[in-house]
């Protein structure tokens, strides 16, 4: 496939335009936007395609600024579990068997922080964000020192924030977008990524 | 079912606005052709949105023609010519509306129940035809409405458990797509839109339901005995925004051709406009004060 088409630019586009198109797309399909999302695999494919196209164009235009896009490994739920039962449920969630995982959790008598966290993860995957908030908050209040639980709650909070940032840049775009709008939303998105431990703009 | 899902007109390009109008008129003409003129009264924006998603995702070439109608008897309007996406949306309109009428028979009393009985009697032929054309969608709607009935009877205080059956009903419309991958994406997109619609509708109806004592998941979830205060409204807006964000994440993966701009507009501007109206005025359409929160 034509790499220029993948990035949605013409062959005569300047390096600056290509970079901007690439960053816009990378921001759209960034793994952070698809954490706990059943469509994450498709977004990953898309991201690979964009990276490949961008690398290709960069190489083709040798001499232009070489910049590689570092794709971070976002934290998945592979971290250590307290008990083998929880580990089994985690793998059920990862494989998408949400009803099975929920049933297994409901059968357990004890409601530990991890129990709440896993219920929250199931709700998150289903798109049940109100329930997810409830369970993640319970997990964090039971075990405030656990980084995984706090990260999950932060990620949930940043969803709505991301939406507002994108919405502003979208509204600005149709109303005649200034370069200032683009920069401020990129910086904003970068800040969001950084507070999650990622990075969108490597230089700042 | 509610007309919440529509673009912010002022922010559409002129050709996009015309395309949206043409799809809306196209759905109206399709309803008239397939079911008769009375059914066009059920026309609403939510199914126009579905038609647009299906048209875009199917890569069908949409052609336009000029037609007169009762709303514009002299000047012919630009209308999207009949296609599979419009047919499916028209069938879905009829199926969902009929089940909404049946629901009215169960929920209402006295004259109102009689009124719904008459409606159901008049609508039965149209419904039978639609159910024959889209048996899978009809089955999905019936199953999910049964689940919704149980959720209502148990007075479940969870927003998400209450919204799930309706969201799944809408998501079932994705089976109209032949392509597996696109169907999967559209199912997510419709699910999150459905969750948004259901919760927004429940929020819209809080005061009326509190007065009448009907089931309302928003009132139960936040233990309300009057309209939501600022904190509750902020929490509700946030949960709605999270659904909108997920709908956008799915939309970005779905190639929609000429319809991309309209769908982006709906998700980025149309949906937040609904949430803002709810937060600021407590209702979406001022004129509709007094309508009950239906279970659909």
| Class of residue A112 by CB neighbours under 10 A (exposed 0-12, middle 13-18, buried 19+) | middle
Q: Is the pLDDT of residue B263 over 60?
A: yes
Q: Taking residues B227-240, report their average pLDDT.
A: 91
Given a contact cutoff of 8 angstroms between Cβ atoms, the answer to whether B228 and B236 are in contact is yes
- Hey, what are B289's tokens? 């004060």
**Hey, are the CB atoms on B268 and A171 less than 8 Å from each other?**
yes
Q: Taking residues A86-94, report their average pLDDT.
A: 89
Q: Is the pLDDT of residue B276 over 80?
A: yes
Which helix (H) or strand (E) covers residue B254, if one does? none
The residues, ordered by sequence, that sit 6+ positions from A13 with a Cβ below 8 Å of its Cβ are A4, A21
Give the chain A residue whose CA is nearest to the CA of B254: A42
Pick from A34, A43, A131: which is nearest to B158 by CB? Answer: A131
- Chain B residues with at least one Cβ partner in A under 8 Å: 11, 158-161, 163-164, 167, 181, 184-185, 188, 191-192, 195, 221, 238-239, 241-246, 248-250, 252-253, 264-265, 268-269, 272
Comparing A8-17, A111-120, B87-96, B231-240, the range with the smallest average pLDDT is A8-17
Given a contact cutoff of 8 angstroms between Cβ atoms, the answer to whether B214 and B269 are in contact is no
**Hey, are the CB atoms on A34 and B249 less than 8 Å from each other?**
yes
Residues of B in contact with A38 (CB under 8 A): 184, 188
How many angstroms away from the CA of A184 is the closest CA of chain B? 18
Residue pLDDT, tens place only, A104-158: 999 988 888 999 999 999 999 999 999 999 999 999 999 999 988 999 998 888 8
DSSP one-letter code for B269 = I
Q: Is the pLDDT of residue B62 over 80?
A: no
Q: Taking residues B67-78, report their average pLDDT.
A: 83
Q: Is the pLDDT of residue A71 over 60?
A: no
**Hey, are the CB atoms on A127 and B181 less than 8 Å from each other?**
no
Q: Phi-psi region for residue A8, left (φ > 0), alpha (ψ -120 to 50) or beta?
A: left
Given a contact cutoff of 8 angstroms between Cβ atoms, the answer to whether A196 and A152 are in contact is no
* Mean of all residue pLDDT scores within chain B: 89
**Hey, are the CB atoms on A39 and B188 less than 8 Å from each other?**
yes
DSSP one-letter code for B213 = T
Question: Greater confidence, A167 or B8?
Answer: B8
Binning pLDDT at 50, 70 and 90, where does residue A62 land? Answer: confident
pLDDT at A176: 45
d(CA B66, CA B79): 6
Pick from B167, B243, B252: which is nearest to A28 by CB? Answer: B252
How many angstroms away from the CA of A79 is the closest CA of chain B? 25
Q: Taking residues B28-55, report their average pLDDT.
A: 91
Q: Is the pLDDT of residue B292 over 60?
A: no
Reference A175, options B19, B260, B276, B13; nearest CA is B13
Residues of B in contact with A28 (CB under 8 A): 252
Q: Is the pLDDT of residue B199 over 90?
A: yes
**Hey, are the CB atoms on A166 and B248 less than 8 Å from each other?**
yes
How many angstroms away from the CA of B181 is the closest CA of chain A? 9
Q: Taking residues B100-119, report their average pLDDT.
A: 87
pLDDT at B16: 93
The residues, ordered by sequence, that sit 6+ positions from A191 with a Cβ below 8 Å of its Cβ are none
Pick from A46, A130, A170: which is nearest to B268 by CB? Answer: A170
**Hey, are the CB atoms on B242 and A34 less than 8 Å from each other?**
no
Q: How many CB pairs under 8 A join A and B?
A: 83
d(CA B28, CA B35): 10
Residues of A in contact with B195 (CB under 8 A): 127-128
Pick from A37, A131, A164: which is nearest to B246 by CB? Answer: A37
How many angstroms away from the CA of A62 is the closest CA of chain B? 31
How many angstroms away from the CA of A142 is the closest CA of chain B? 21
**Hey, are the CB atoms on B160 and A166 less than 8 Å from each other?**
no
Give the chain B residue whose CA is nearest to the CA of A26: B252
Q: Taking residues B245-271, report their average pLDDT.
A: 92
pLDDT at A196: 61
pLDDT at B296: 47
Comparing A138-152, A170-184, B162-176, B205-219, the range with the smallest average pLDDT is A170-184
Cβ atoms within 10 Å, residue B237 = 18
How many angstroms away from the CA of A41 is the closest CA of chain B? 11
Which residues make beta-bridge pairs with B78? Answer: B66
How many angstroms away from the CA of B230 is the closest CA of chain A? 17
Give the chain B residue whose CA is nearest to the CA of A169: B268
Q: Is the pLDDT of residue B210 over 70?
A: yes
Give the chain B residue whose CA is nearest to the CA of A163: B245
Q: Is the pLDDT of residue A5 over 90?
A: no
Residue pLDDT, tens place only, A103-118: 999 998 888 899 999 9
pLDDT at A69: 38
**Hey, are the CB atoms on A133 and B245 less than 8 Å from each other?**
no
- Chain A residues with at least one Cβ partner in B under 8 Å: 28-29, 33-34, 37-39, 42-43, 46, 123, 126-131, 133, 156, 159-160, 162-164, 166-167, 170-171, 174-175
Most confident by average pLDDT, A73-87, A152-166, B216-230: B216-230
- Three-state DSSP at B150 gives helix
- Is the ipTM, as predicted for this complex, more than 0.95? no
């Amino acid at each position: 496939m034509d790499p220029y088409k993948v990035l949605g630019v013409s062959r005569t586009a300047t390096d600056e335009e290509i970079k901007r198109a690439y960053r816009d797309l990378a921001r759209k399909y960034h793994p952070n936007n698809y954490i706990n999302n059943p469509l994450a695999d498709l977004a990953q494919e898309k991201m690979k395609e964009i990276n490949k196209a961008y690398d290709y164009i960069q190489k083709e235009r040798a001499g232009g600024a070489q910049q590689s896009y570092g794709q971070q490994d976002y934290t998945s739920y592979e971290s250590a579990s307290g008990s083998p039962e929880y580990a089994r449920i985690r793998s059920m969630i990862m494989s998408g068997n949400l009803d099975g995982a929920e049933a297994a959790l409901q059968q357990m008598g004890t409601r530990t922080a991890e129990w709440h966290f896993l219920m929250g993860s199931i709700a998150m995957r289903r798109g049940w964000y109100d329930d997810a908030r409830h369970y993640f908050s319970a997990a964090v209040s039971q075990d405030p020192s656990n980084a995984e639980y706090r990260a999950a709650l932060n990620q949930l909070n940043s969803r709505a924030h991301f939406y507002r940032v994108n919405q502003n840049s979208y509204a600005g775009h149709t109303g005649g977008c200034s370069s200032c709008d683009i920069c401020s939303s990129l910086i904003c998105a970068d800040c969001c990524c950084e507070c999650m431990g990622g990075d969108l703009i490597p230089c700042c | 079912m509610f007309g919440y899902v529509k673009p912010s007109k002022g922010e559409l390009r002129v050709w996009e606005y015309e395309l949206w109008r043409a799809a809306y008129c196209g759905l109206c003409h399709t309803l008239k052709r397939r079911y008769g003129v009375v059914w066009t009264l059920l026309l609403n924006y939510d199914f126009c949105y579905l038609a647009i998603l299906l048209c875009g995702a199917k890569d069908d070439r949409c052609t336009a023609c000029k037609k007169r109608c009762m709303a514009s008897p002299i000047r012919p309007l630009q209308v999207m010519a009949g296609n599979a996406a419009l047919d499916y949306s028209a069938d879905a309109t009829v199926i969902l509306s009929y089940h909404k009428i049946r629901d009215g028979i169960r929920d209402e009393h006295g004259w109102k129940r009689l009124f719904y009985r008459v409606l159901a009697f008049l609508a039965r032929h149209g419904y039978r035809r639609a159910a024959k054309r889209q048996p899978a969608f009809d089955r999905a709607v019936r199953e999910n409405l049964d689940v919704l009935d149980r959720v209502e009877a148990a007075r479940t205080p969870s927003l998400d458990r209450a919204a799930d059956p309706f969201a799944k009903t809408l998501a079932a419309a994705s089976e109209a797509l032949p392509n597996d991958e696109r169907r999967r994406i559209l199912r997510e997109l419709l699910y999150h839109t459905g969750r948004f619609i259901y919760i927004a509708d429940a929020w819209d109806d809080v005061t009326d339901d509190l007065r009448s004592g009907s089931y309302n998941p928003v009132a139960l979830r936040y233990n309300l005995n009057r309209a939501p205060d600022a904190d509750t409204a902020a929490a509700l807006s946030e949960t709605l925004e999270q659904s909108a964000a997920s709908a956008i994440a799915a939309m970005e993966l779905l190639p929609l051709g000429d319809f991309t701009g309209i769908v982006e507009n709906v998700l980025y501007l149309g949906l937040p406009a609904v949430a803002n109206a709810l937060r600021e005025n407590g209702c979406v359409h001022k004129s509709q004060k007094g309508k009950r929160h239906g279970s659909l």
